[in-house]
Structure 1
Amino acid sequence: MKKLYFLLFFCSVLLHSQERYFLNSNTRLYISPNSTSFRGYFKYGAEVRLLGESQNGWCKIQADNFNEGFIQEKYIAKSLNARDIKVRDTENPILEGGDTYYGGNHLFVIVAGLKARALPDKNAKIREILFNGDPVPVNYIPVNPDEWVNINGSFNEEYAKFTLQKFLGQRPNLETLIKDFDKLDVNAIPERKTLSERIVELAWNSNYNDLVPAYQRYYEVVKQINDPKLISDTELNMALAKALSKHKLPEQISSFIQKSEYSLKGVKTKSLYLTQIQLVKSFGNPPKKTRISDECGLYSSDLFYYYPDLEASVDEKLNKAEIIKVFINENNKFIINPNAVLDHTLSEKAFIEKYGTYVEASLKSPHQYFILMEDSQFRLEFKEGKLFSIEIFYYC
């Protein structure tokens, strides 16, 4: 009889663990039923795993970081709706959606170069590098600063990402960080390096106009460290920061790019198109053809030709080829306009100095620059200091 009871209980727990349950209110993860001691805070909408049947109105559950504890059964639901009454917890540090940075429950990264891992383990695979000021989704946060937080808010192992609680908090203030940096002794190099890295990352998460003063401070430290490559990289980023602070207006960018075309083995494409016959005549039959589903209908065809020099969407029936990506070399050029010809001799530094006011850039995509248009964008990629490729992306 005991074996049968255990089997039924095990199956019940297994069944509950496979179903999805959500919290219809803010609450806390208590150590035991009716206890005042708790392990962490939940925000409305948090997903939990049910580990047992209700006992006197309390259920044992597991949070998305694998903390286990108890919450009142009334807060557990299989779905959420607009009639839910959210009990507010003024001590809960998790921020609700509605600010200008994130729409749901969240906190911010408060350190530079934070590694988000696949499991709550310091040796686990790194899923993402997060920057100071990045908002991250958080539905449950433990009280202990040395415990892990799931910054994806889901039990799905494919997407879960973890970091330590002590690296998350309210959004850092750039002015405060700059004042703290300026107060440091000039010889406190490790502290200045740590703080200047945070300042640069937060500036990228703020406004282009904040980048110049951020990099000025970082450059002070870089010169003290005296690493030639770091100095060179920083000088490049300082040039970019200066250009981005003088960013052109959308209408100026549109006028700059509207007559762009490629020169492919001496053949000008007149915009981004040429005939399929011209394409094959210039480059031969493609080494590879692939059909790719295009749900948005953005390209000429779902048939793509892949050459060493370029990639194109080709409609063979209509004799039409649309250039999607071009690898810049001695044969290929990107002609933005008669006064702006980008070829394989163009260095990244020269590009930034000449055209940096027209581009968008991100610290998370180094050596890549984006020229935005109304329905698409060009992505320009540099490798080893030279222009490597240009690719067009359409908005769905």
Structure 2
Amino acid sequence: MKKFYFVIALLCSILLHSQQRYFLNSDTRLYKSASASSDFWGYFKYGAEVRLLSESQNGWYKVQADNFNEGYVQEKYVAKSLNAKDVKINDPENPILDGGDAYYGGNHLFVLAAGLKARALPDKNSKIKEILFTGDPVAVDYVPVNQEDWVNLNGNFDEEYAQYSLRKFIGLRPNFDKLLKDFDKLDINAVADRKTISERIVELAWNSDYSKLVPAYQRYYEVVKQINDPKLIAETELNMALAKGLEKHKLPEQITAFVKKTEFSLKGTKTKSLYFSQTDLVKLFGKPTKKANVGDECGIYLSDLFYYYPDLEVSVDEKKNQAEIVKVFINENNKLIINSNAVLDNSVSEKAFIEKYGTYIEASLKTPHNYSIIMEDSQFRIVFKDGKLFSVEIFFYC
């Protein structure tokens, strides 16, 4: 009977530990047995969260890491909370980087592969939660020694935030110049290897600065022509034009001056500004097809009330008889007039837009065919679909 009660008490204790959060107050390792001289599964960085799987035994806890590896850590490194008085012992062999570099503020490593699939579970068949690019920083608190083991890229046990990749695809930030040299050394007929490295070069260039885009796309274009895929060639030529524009990016004051007098033409009526009266809005467009309240915690819009039309979205303050343009769908009726020499209508192709205005825009590999023009307190977000101008949204900073 005493044995039975002991087992129940032990199970209750383990259950209690599993419901509480525990953290490591120093760098340490996940040992295979309760001994600092034993082999180990991987490295923990200060602040890593662990799950306790046992009571303390001779100064050691059995724990579970955020990638589900199980092993042992010393009791003295386990705490219910972290504080500024923690005496952190740095492990010189621990590959995880401390926060505070130019890329990430917490424990992290970098993505080494192009188009890395971050999965919901440590399983190659698990749902893909996000596509990560070469040079992306990822939050990492624990890394296994085995390169074929999985890493939790958010250092979080919560299924909503946790995502996983193999250890071999995560490491120190790649060196752009070294990747260029590695590519240039390859045999011209090694198309598969050239494609792999050139994809990494392009992604790392986007994760660096605009000046690196041109040499990156020059090499990638060599491979694309070898593959001879017409669609990929056209897409790369578009990106090469974008790279040339971004390389000569205008100064902020030049961009602000360029868009200072921007206005919309809606059904032939110029707005003169982003604001007009609700009365004029209804006269021009009629009653909205839908009204809805949107969450606006930052207070960036005129009102929480939005009017939705087939080709327009407007924030409206009915009491004050005011309306503010939020988004315009560009068609035969609507266009954006930046100035007398810069009119964006539904005849403008994406390539022509890039070639003419590429020095004024911002762009990202993660949101292709989406561009922005920065203003003092807001930005124009310009979207293309199937090569044609689709919409312009005004986004105000929080």
Q: Which residue of 2 aligns with 1:7?
A: 8
* Distance (whole Å) between structure 2 residues aligned to residue 118 and residue 281 of structure 1: 50
Q: CA deviation at 1:15?
A: 1.2
Give the drift of 1:52. 1.3
Aligned pairs for 1:359-378 (under 5 A) are 359-378=361-380
Distance in 2 between the 1:317 and 1:392 partners?
23
Q: Distance in 2 between matches of 1:281 and 1:378?
A: 26
TM-score by length of 2: 0.98
Q: Deviation at 1:6?
A: 1.9
CA distance in 1, matches of 2:202, 2:166: 22
For residues 258 and 153 of structure 1, the distance between their equivalents in structure 2, rounded to whole angstroms, comes to 44
Q: How does 1:199-278 map to 2 (within 5 A)?
A: 199-278=201-280
Aligned ranges 1:43-192 → 2 under 5 Å: 43-192=45-194
CA distance in 2, matches of 1:88, 1:297: 44
SS in 2 for 1:238: helix
**Match status 1:380 vs 2:382:** yes
2:340 to 329, 338, 341: 338
SS in structure 2 of the partner of residue 391 of structure 1: strand
Q: SS of the counterpart of 2:313? A: strand
1:301-338 deviations in whole A, cap 9, x for unaligned?
01011111111100001111000011000010011112
Distance 1:217 1:297 in 2: 46
| Structure 2 gaps, min length 5 | none
| Partner Cα separation in structure 1 for residue 388 and residue 10 of structure 2 | 65
Q: Secondary structure at the match of 1:357?
A: coil
Q: TM-score, normalised by structure 1?
A: 0.99
- Aligned-partner residue type, residue 19 of structure 1: Q
In 1, Cα distance between equivalents of 2:368 and 2:52 = 43
Secondary structure in structure 1 of the residue aligned to 2:358: helix
The CA RMSD measured in Å over matched residues stands at 0.8
Secondary structure, in 3 states, of the residue corresponding to 1:28? strand
Of stretches 7-16 and 151-160 in structure 1, the one that deviates more from structure 2 is 7-16
Deviations, residues 205-235 of structure 1 (Å, cap 9, x unaligned):
1110110011001000100100000000000
Instruction: For 2:111, give the aligned amino acid.
Output: V
CA–CA separation in structure 2 for the residues paired with 1:115 and 1:394: 32
Alignment deviations for residues 99-138 of structure 1 (CA, whole Å, 9 cap, x no partner): 1111111001111110000100001111111111111110
Q: Secondary structure at the match of 1:159?
A: coil
Task: Give the C-alpha shift of residue 10 in structure 1.
Answer: 1.4
Secondary structure of 1:333 counterpart: strand
Runs of 4+ residues over 4 Å off in structure 1: none
Q: Which residue of 1 aligns with 2:21?
A: 20
State how far apart, in whole Å, the 1-side matches of 2:276 and 2:333 are.
Answer: 17
Q: Matches of 2:183 and 2:125 in 1, distance apart?
A: 32
Cα distance in 1 for partners of 2:153, 2:330 equals: 39
**Corresponding residue to 2:353 among 348, 351, 354:** 351
- What amino acid does structure 1 have at the position aligned with 2:216? A
- SS of the aligned residue for 2:359 comes to helix
**Deviation for aligned residue 1:294:** 1.5
Q: Deviations over 1:228-267 (max 9, x none)?
A: 0000000000000000000000000000111111111111
1:278 deviates by: 1.1
- Report the AA paired with residue 235 of structure 1: E
Partner letter of residue 372 of structure 2?
F
2:31 counterpart of 1:30 = yes
**CA–CA distance in structure 1, aligned partners of residues 348 and 12 of structure 2:** 66
Mapped partners of 2:43, 2:376: distance in 1? 43
Q: What do residues 146-197 of structure 1 show as CA deviations (whole Å, max 9, x unaligned)?
A: 0000000110101111000000111101111111111111111111111111
1:3 deviates by: 3.0
